[in-house]
Amino acid sequence: MATTQTTPRDSSSPRGSNTPRKPRPPRNTNTAPRKTRTNTRFAYDTWGIALCALGLILLATLLGAGTNSGDNFLGRTVVHGFYLLSGVGAWVFPFVLLALGGMLAIGKSRSFDNMGALGALYVLFIAWWHLGRVGGMKLAYHFLTDNLVNGGGYLGGGVSWLLRMLVGVFGAHVVFVALVGIGILFLVDVPLPSLLGPVERFIAEWTGKGKEAATAQAKEAVEKARKKPAAAPTERKPLVQPPPSVFKRTTPEPLDDDLELDEPTTDAPPRSQPTLFSFRKEKPEAPAPSPRPAATLEEDEDEEPTTPVVPVLAPAVPTRGEPRPGMAAFVLPPTALMAPSPPAPANVADGESEERRQIILQTLEDFGIGADVADVAYGPTITRYEIALERGIKVSKIVSLADNIAMALAAIDVRVEAPIPGKSAIGLEVPNAKPRGVSIRECLEAPEFVNAPGKLTFVLGRDVTGAVKVADLAKMPHLLIAGSTGSGKSVGLNALITSLLYRNSPRELKLLMIDPKKVELSLYEGIPHLASPVITNVKQAPSLFKQALREMETRYDKFAKLGTRNLEGYNAKVEEAERIPYWVIIVDELADLMMTSGPEIETSICRLAQLARATGIHLVIATQRPSVNVITGTIKANISSRIAFAMNSAVDSRTILDQTGADRLIGRGDMLFMPIDAGKPYRIQGCFVSEHDTESLVNYLKEQGTPNFDVLPSTLSLSTGDDDSGEGEADDDLFESAVRLVVTGGSASTSMLQRRFKIGYTRAARLVDLMEQRGIVGALDGAKPRDILIARDDLDGMFGKTGVFET
């Protein structure tokens, strides 16, 4: 190919012809910047060495200027000239040369740009020194030799003489103070309020006025909010626009043109993104009035509410719950149950951000990549630097330098987003030195959650710009969550459950929970939203999935009779008492289920994922072992919405997200969220839900009622399942005795029932089949004995304490 490009025929070929010479111009455009950068680097190194050498010569000459040696004629001549030119400033000049040369030599090339400002400050200081020496003398004394040598020389004397002529001695001092201050601000590139802010806060705290002002401001905000709680619900109207996407943004600019976003329905202004490279630290302002629960106002004054206050969390008209014996009209929980949000700290230190910016650019320059930082976004735990590359540079070069950039920044890890969706830039996500947490309360009170139309909307946390992110489970319609131990997976699952409980009454939502760990979801035992007790025995999980499949078929039959296609259409046509609630099946650890009943669980999950969306049945499946044996290809194909917390390896990240990235998360709630309608995941800092918050919410819900398992009886109950014949009903008494015999004896077999009860094989086999249908014994596994799925303590709850069959 290279030979054909150098032939005369190719060089004279007309433009636009199909010749091998066509790819040559891009190759030339790539080599020119490389040569330019090499020459620039060489020039900086040369200047650095030269300045250091000159500074050492002048310093040595100054130290030996009093000797009578005849050598060093050039140095002594230069020093004498500097004494006449700048006076005592001659001692400063060698150190300035050494500092500049050293910075250039070690690679701080951008320091060369500030030489003009440093020179101006140098002249101002020697002129100011000269004015202080001769300020009380006559103007003619400014240029005496003694004053020139011990003052500011001809340079400082001339400037001070000119200012003294124009504005006098006092005015000259004022001008010098102003000019020196301007020069320092220009060098440090920090606004004056940022420099005076710490002094002002110190004085306010020392005098005690700062705390009093903050307290008065908070009380004023509470009083204003107290006067407007009743008007907030009337301002919200049902949305008439199309249904939203799964992932909602709070900023006007979308991350992806293909992602459909919702606009808030409130009149409150949207959250503004942080100013890029802003060194001004804004003073805290009173929070703007927003539609938030009235119960939160009571907590701000440390007063217990005497009557239940209905929070305004649900859009449009909230359903008031399920009137049952012992349960009054349901009241949605107030956000006052959650711990108050911690005060938001200031943004990343301005100096730290600018220093990191310089390090990133210098690192890229060392590897021959020309770039600039076009934008900076400050998030709760990370800061994203948007890098704009020069023409002709491959994006893959930046991706391959992630570890080098992390080492240069001394960061835990650096994730590269190449490119940022909707922007012609590459994102470098660097962990903050002082990360801030995101509480569940601040997300629940955010307008993005309060005004969301979906009943299954839940909060995720805050993104890299600090905006609250929410998602709708009904639009997903199923969710797969994965994360290693300690990554925040269980906390994220609790945030999802808490969000659903804050938006729905027991008549609108039913939860089915499977908790093989026995400590994560068991906290929710006893809340009225449960359709079944929390399953902690993994061998009972297949029975629960079978019940969900039967419920799905039943709902489809109801939809067909009424001529509707989904749950929303059905509930719109029937009376309120006949409405069907949403079902959300939550599995805390899928790996345990797959190890015990893998094929059966996989089949049930796939059927529900494929068919249950229209019936309002949704799956939320979590695991800490995202291997292909747990998250199989069939499960991944049917569950497209996924959340990945920190992973141990890139292989695990590919298993859950089909791409790397989760292996570079920093943990503690840091997640990548990939909704069904997004091509790339979004990085979000998940909100934190403490155990105390969960207990407060559960106790509040328990006070309003108890769970009604008649909607979905327990897998231990005898009223579930379909009786295939009347024989089972006729054998109720014998069935109870058979169950007690099997549970107390620890084994289940047809021959044992035949011998004990003196019955035939058909009847004994029928009793064993009934036990399997009820979830009392496990399925037959070859020659192995059947597993007993219940304990002896459960017998009294099933049959009562009478009629105990003793073995």
Longest dimension (CA), the chain: 134
Residue bearing the bigger pLDDT, 579 or 63:
579
Residue bearing the bigger pLDDT, 572 or 80:
572
Work out the mean pLDDT of the chain and round it to a whole number. 75
Confidence band for 490, pLDDT divided at 50, 70 and 90? very high
Q: How far apart are CA 692 and CA 436, in angstroms?
A: 20
Q: pLDDT for 749-794, tens place per residue?
A: 888 888 888 888 888 888 888 888 888 888 887 778 888 888 887 7
| CATH fold match for the domains 457-701 and 726-799 | no
Whether 692 has a pLDDT exceeding 80, the answer reads yes
Q: Which of 117-126, 171-180, 437-446, 751-760 has the least mean pLDDT? A: 117-126
Whether 122 has a pLDDT exceeding 70, the answer reads yes
End-to-end CA gap in the chain: 91
Q: How far apart are CA 376 and CA 139, in angstroms?
A: 53
Whether 445 has a pLDDT exceeding 90, the answer reads yes
pLDDT score at 775: 80
Establish whether 751 is an annotated binding residue. Answer: no
Whether 134 has a pLDDT exceeding 80, the answer reads no
Q: Which of 176-180, 352-356, 398-402, 708-712 has the least mean pLDDT? A: 708-712
Confidence band for 392, pLDDT divided at 50, 70 and 90? confident
Q: Which of 146-160, 166-180, 184-198, 383-397 has the least mean pLDDT? A: 184-198
Cα 52 to chain centroid distance, Å, stands at 48
The single-letter code of the amino acid at 601 is: I
Confidence band for 433, pLDDT divided at 50, 70 and 90? confident
pTM of the full structure = 0.55
Establish whether 696 is an annotated binding residue. Answer: no
Whether 22 has a pLDDT exceeding 50, the answer reads no
Cα 96 to chain centroid distance, Å, stands at 46
How many beta carbons lie within 10 A of that of residue 403, not counting itself?
11
Give residue 763's region: left, alpha or beta (phi > 0; psi -120 to 50): alpha
Q: How far apart are CA 643 and CA 656, in angstroms?
A: 8
Cα 588 to chain centroid distance, Å, stands at 21
Residues paired with residue 641 on neighbouring β-strands, in sequence order? 479
* 618 within 8 A of 509, measured Cβ to Cβ: no
* Eight-class DSSP state of 243: P
Positions of E strands within 183-327: 247-248
Q: pLDDT for 511-565, tens place per residue?
A: 999 999 888 899 999 999 999 899 988 888 888 898 899 999 999 999 999 999 9
Q: pLDDT for 693-744, tens place per residue?
A: 999 999 999 998 888 875 555 444 433 334 443 344 434 568 888 888 988 8
Residue bearing the bigger pLDDT, 248 or 77:
77
Mean pLDDT across the stretch 369-386?
A: 90
Confidence band for 598, pLDDT divided at 50, 70 and 90? confident
Mean pLDDT across the stretch 567-571?
A: 93
Position of tokens 């024989």? 727
**Domain residue ranges in the chain:** 33-188, 350-431, 457-701, 726-799
Establish whether 486 is an annotated binding residue. Answer: yes
pLDDT score at 28: 43
* Eight-class DSSP state of 158: H
Q: Which fold has domain 457-701?
A: Rossmann fold (3.40.50)
- Give me the numbers of helices (H) and strands (E) for the chain, helices first please: 29, 14
Establish whether 604 is an annotated binding residue. Answer: no
CA 683, 685, 691, 696: dihedral to nearest 10 degrees? -100
Residue bearing the bigger pLDDT, 745 or 277:
745
Strand order in the sheet with 426-431: 371-378, 382-389, 426-431, 415-417
Residue whose C-alpha is closest to residue 427's, from 463, 452, 451: 463
Residue bearing the bigger pLDDT, 407 or 319:
407
Alpha helices (H) along 385-512: 395-400, 402-409, 440-444, 447-450, 489-503
pLDDT score at 606: 93
pLDDT score at 572: 92
- 456 three-class SS: coil
Mean pLDDT across the stretch 87-95?
A: 79
pLDDT score at 426: 92
pLDDT score at 585: 95
Establish whether 483 is an annotated binding residue. Answer: yes
Angstrom CA distances, 237 to 452, 456, 465, stand at: 11, 18, 28
Establish whether 278 is an annotated binding residue. Answer: no
pLDDT score at 167: 84
Q: Which of 165-174, 274-283, 491-500, 734-743 has the least mean pLDDT? A: 274-283
Of all residues in the chain, the percent with pLDDT exceeding 70 is: 69
Residues 6 or more apart whose Cβ sits within 8 Å of residue 637: none
Residues paired with residue 494 on neighbouring β-strands, in sequence order? none
pLDDT score at 163: 83
Angstrom CA distances, 71 to 54, 65, 68, 160, stand at: 17, 11, 9, 36
pLDDT score at 672: 94
Whether 270 has a pLDDT exceeding 50, the answer reads no
Whether 107 has a pLDDT exceeding 80, the answer reads no
Q: What is the CATH number of domain 726-799?
A: 1.10.10.10
pLDDT score at 507: 92
pLDDT score at 330: 87
Establish whether 487 is an annotated binding residue. Answer: yes
Q: Which fold has domain 350-431?
A: Threonyl-tRNA Synthetase; Chain A, domain 2 (3.30.980)
Mean pLDDT across the stretch 442-467?
A: 93
Confidence band for 641, pLDDT divided at 50, 70 and 90? very high
Position of tokens 């035992």? 525
Residues 6 or more apart whose Cβ sits within 8 Å of residue 716: 533, 540, 774, 775, 776, 790, 794, 797, 798
Q: Strands 415-417 and 426-431: what pairing?
A: antiparallel
Alpha helices (H) along 438-488: 440-444, 447-450
Establish whether 383 is an annotated binding residue. Answer: no
Mean pLDDT across the stretch 37-41?
A: 60
Cis peptide leading into residue 419 (ω within 30°):
yes
